[in-house]
Amino acid sequence: MSKQSAKWQCYRINPNRLIKLLCAVGLLGCILLTVWKSHEIRQSATIPYQTQASTGRGHSVDVKSLIGAFVEEDEPTEFQHIPLETLIQQYPPDTNYFLYNWLSFLGFNNVRYMIEHAYYYGNLINRTVVLPHRVHCRSCIHEGYCHIIGYPVDDSEIMDSPDGVDGKYRWSVPIEEFIDMNHLTRNSGARLIRMQDFLRLQLYYQDLASKGSANKSNLIRQWDAVDPIAYLRDHRGISFEDGSADNFKVAFPEQSYAATSEIGDVCGKENSVDDLTPILERAEKLRQNGQTKIELYKYPNEPNYSVREFQTHTVDLDAVPELVGFAQEFSTEKYPQRFLHFTARYIHFFPRRPFMFATEANRETYDHFVLHLLRYPYRVRKAAEHLYRNLERKMVTKGIYPVSTSVPTTENHQRAPLGQFIGIHSRRGDFIRYNWVGETSNLNEWKHSMVQLVDHLKSQQQLDLFYLATDETSPDAFGELYSQGMVRLYDLIDQEFASQYSHLATFGDWLALLDQEILSRSKYFVPVYMSSVSGGVLNKRKAMGLPDAPETREWMSRLLEDINLQM
């Protein structure tokens, strides 16, 4: 054999070796492809999606903008103290104030609901609302963590508390952990002020009146460095923990007036309106044109705590003189005191049926505050965003594309940032209270009702996963529901979340804010009546532009009727 032939013989490939080599290359390719796909899924579930998703209407939308961030990139992450000098410019000595007994023992969402109305009432009577400085949380999971930002309080001593025994084990937490006070005070047009800032101002003005303007600079520095609530407690023996009217009458006796019975005489009645003046003006013009009726604006007559669609209410012109106007009944002419204080439990109940709005613009003023000015702080929204990304991961793992591609068009013709899941708010007590299950119902009956409801919803909405926010805590409550595709807030908590938010997540009221943020992103939402938590979710969805309609929402009670559960 020649040298050349021998050389080529060395390169001859054995067929068996070739097959083995090709199999090895193929196996390596499969491994690399699997790793790449796994990385792609993790990326898509973590960084909100960089791909394009079809809307089903012949064009595409950026999924990243569709999901939307819970926080803004340039917003402050912590509450920013307002210097006393700035407060003096914003709230001069002749500012009139509107104060509430905030009934803080009811929990944050009820307080939030009262703040929404107080802002509008303050606008009507040209007064600045003094906000509560703390919220009383009704549960604490871990006492050690709760002491980091809160302290235990005895609500049994608070005015109008319904049950002193139950109120003893509550925790007082700064309101800045529940409301974005930076955003609120910056955008409210000096119509809102924190309790601490209000008290600091009044103490400064008192001191200035007695010592003279020559000491102004020194007094500003002095009071800017003082905690006014601690000062009043330690030096004057006045506690502002609950903000009750009695405290203000002691601290500022000549400037305070507490309205109690007057509230019931004006608010919450069938003939109550916000402002009588524009109604009288319109009524006169209508009479001159030969008309006999006038249209006012109101909410649907449903027992809930949310901003709803506009409804008109027709009133005979002959009945206009019988209307009672809030702005007129609580005007500064009738109550010249600088501090007008609403007290008694009735202040919580009458806003459920808010009085009629004189004009469409008035209603829009209220809606704007509720939907756009009052929001949760950065830390809440950032924590909710973290949990929502974990929810997206769960959906991807189950083979569910996280973004709904068939969501309703919003008012500005953009796609709403909704996820492919059903959101349910369920309070177990409602099932007994409203006779959805028997008076002697036990946990099994509640579970059975929920399973029936979920089966119905999954079939109706063609969705496989549902997020449940509930006050039920029994570990035996959720086994069958998990097999139906349930996810709860606790299923989304990971080590990173715990390391950042454990001291806050120990409060049940704070966790409810995260539930609300996640529920607001559900493709279909099931709220319950008479719930400020459900009402807050509905408000968030309305702020996103979602229509308040059966395509996106249905009440728990009506769904239970659909599946023939007892009412």
Q: Is 60 helix (H, G, I), strand (E, B) or coil?
A: strand
> Dihedrals φ, ψ of 494, to 5°?
-125, -175
Same domain, 257 and 316: yes
**Cα 510 from Cα 173, distance rounded (Å):** 10
Of the CA atoms within 13 Å of residue 99, those in its CB half-sphere come to: 30
Same domain, 359 and 413: no
Q: Which residues contact 224 (CB under 8 A, 6 or more apart)?
A: 83, 84, 85, 200
What DSSP string describes 185-243?
A: HHHTTT-EEEHHHHHHHHHHHHHHHHH-GGGHHHHHHHHHTS-HHHHHHHHH----SS-
> Dihedrals φ, ψ of 370, to 5°?
-65, -45
CA 129 to chain centre: 20
Same domain, 527 and 384: yes
Q: Kind of pairing, strands 192-194 and 128-131?
A: parallel
For residue 78, being part of any structural domain is answered with no
For residue 188, being part of any structural domain is answered with yes
C-alpha torsion 136→140→145→149, nearest 10: 0
- The structural domain count of the chain equals 2
Same domain, 234 and 162: yes
For residue 21, being part of any structural domain is answered with no
Contact status, residue 108 vs residue 135, Cβ threshold 8 Å: yes
Angle, in degrees to the nearest 10, between helices 495-505 and 508-519: 120
**Cα 85 from Cα 107, distance rounded (Å):** 33
The token duo for 567 is: 């009412």
pLDDT (0 to 100) of residue 548 = 79
Please give the residue range of the domain that contains residue 181.
96-375
For residue 141, being part of any structural domain is answered with yes
Same domain, 183 and 134: yes
Same domain, 172 and 290: yes
CA 38 to chain centre: 36
Of 325, 353, 375, the domain-final residue: 375
Of 357, 375, 393, the domain-final residue: 375
Contact status, residue 128 vs residue 340, Cβ threshold 8 Å: no
Of 344, 375, 406, the domain-final residue: 375
Same domain, 331 and 456: no
Q: Kind of pairing, strands 311-316 and 293-298?
A: antiparallel
The letter for the amino acid at 51 is T
Nearest Cα residue to 106 out of 298, 305, 258: 305
DSSP structure class, residue 479: H
Question: Can you give the pTM of this predicted structure?
Answer: 0.81
From first to last of its 567 residues, the chain has per-residue pLDDT tens of 555 555 445 445 566 665 666 666 665 665 555 444 444 433 443 333 333 333 333 333 333 433 456 777 677 788 888 999 999 999 999 999 998 877 777 778 888 888 988 899 999 999 999 998 888 887 788 888 888 888 887 766 654 444 434 445 688 899 999 999 999 988 988 899 999 999 999 999 999 999 888 889 999 999 999 999 899 989 988 877 655 666 777 788 878 887 777 777 777 677 889 999 999 999 999 999 999 999 998 876 565 667 776 678 899 999 999 999 999 999 999 999 999 988 766 566 555 555 789 998 998 898 899 999 999 999 999 999 999 999 999 999 999 988 886 666 666 666 677 899 999 998 765 544 444 444 445 566 667 788 888 999 999 999 999 999 987 777 777 888 898 999 999 999 999 999 999 989 989 899 999 999 999 999 999 998 878 889 899 999 988 888 778 888 988 888 888 777 543
Q: Is 435 helix (H, G, I), strand (E, B) or coil?
A: coil
Buried b or exposed e, range 63-99, using 16+ CB within 10 angstroms: beebbeebbeeeeeeebeebebeebbeebeeebbbbb
Same domain, 449 and 354: no
For residue 206, being part of any structural domain is answered with yes
What DSSP string describes 375-394?
A: ---HHHHHHHHHHHHHHHHH
**Cα 48 from Cα 37, distance rounded (Å):** 16
For residue 172, being part of any structural domain is answered with yes
> Dihedrals φ, ψ of 200, to 5°?
-60, -45
**Cα 202 from Cα 97, distance rounded (Å):** 11
> Dihedrals φ, ψ of 56, to 5°?
85, 5
Q: Kind of pairing, strands 97-100 and 128-131?
A: parallel
Same domain, 430 and 329: no
214: number of Cβ within 10 Å: 8
The token duo for 472 is: 């039920």
The token duo for 364 is: 């829009």
For residue 75, being part of any structural domain is answered with no
Same domain, 356 and 463: no
Q: What is the CATH number of the domain that holds 546?
A: 3.40.50
Q: Which residues contact 540 (CB under 8 A, 6 or more apart)?
A: 516, 517, 520
**Cα 351 from Cα 120, distance rounded (Å):** 11
For residue 302, being part of any structural domain is answered with yes
412: number of Cβ within 10 Å: 6
The token duo for 124 is: 């009507």
Same domain, 357 and 386: no
> Dihedrals φ, ψ of 109, to 5°?
-60, -30
> Dihedrals φ, ψ of 324, to 5°?
-115, 125
Same domain, 284 and 420: no
